[in-house]
């Protein structure tokens, strides 16, 4: 039996990849919202803050959630990891959001 071939994953610089995207902000109309900020404040694990590849979710100084959807990749991860169902997730309106074709 032959030994398995060596397999190495390619190294990827996420910041470099993200820099190749473009984003059209729909000012005043975020396509993702938190349904109830109080639920986030009492959410112990806050998985949304570590799972978003674009870093849109962070913990604010009061222990709540700060959500900035500019740069969102529309992957849907934040909605899936929130066990509380507290993420109101929609695609951006037509003409807004992420453009992937530059990299």
Of 6 and 15, the one with the shorter C-beta distance to ligand SF4 is: 15
Q: Using the rule CB under 6 A, is 52 a contact of ligand SF4? A: yes
Give CA separation, 71 vs 5, 26, 62, 81, in Å. 38, 11, 24, 19
DSSP string, 51-90: H-TT--EEE-TTSSEEE--TT-----HHHHH-TT--EEE-
x/- letters, 63..102, toward ligand SF4 (CB under 6 A) = --x---x--xxxxxxx---x-x-xx---------------
* Beta carbon nearer to ligand SF4, 7 or 34: 34
Output the CA torsion sign for 54, 57, 59, 60. positive
In the complex, what is the shortest distance from the CB of residue 85 to ligand SF4, in angstroms, rounded to a whole number? 8
Could you give the string, one character per residue 3-42, with x where binding to ligand SF4 holds by CB under 6 A and - elsewhere? Answer: -----------------------------x-x----xx--
């Amino acid at each position: 039996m032959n030994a398995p071939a060596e397999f190495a994953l390619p190294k990827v610089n996420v910041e470099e990849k993200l820099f190749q995207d473009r984003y059209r902000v729909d000012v005043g109309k975020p396509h993702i919202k938190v349904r109830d900020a109080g639920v986030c404040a009492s959410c112990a694990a806050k998985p949304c803050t570590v799972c978003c590849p674009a870093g849109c979710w962070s913990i604010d100084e009061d222990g709540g959630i700060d959500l900035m959807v500019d740069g969102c990749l529309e992957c849907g991860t934040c909605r899936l990891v929130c066990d509380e169902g507290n993420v109101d997730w929609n695609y951006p309106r037509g003409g807004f959001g992420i453009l992937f074709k530059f990299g």
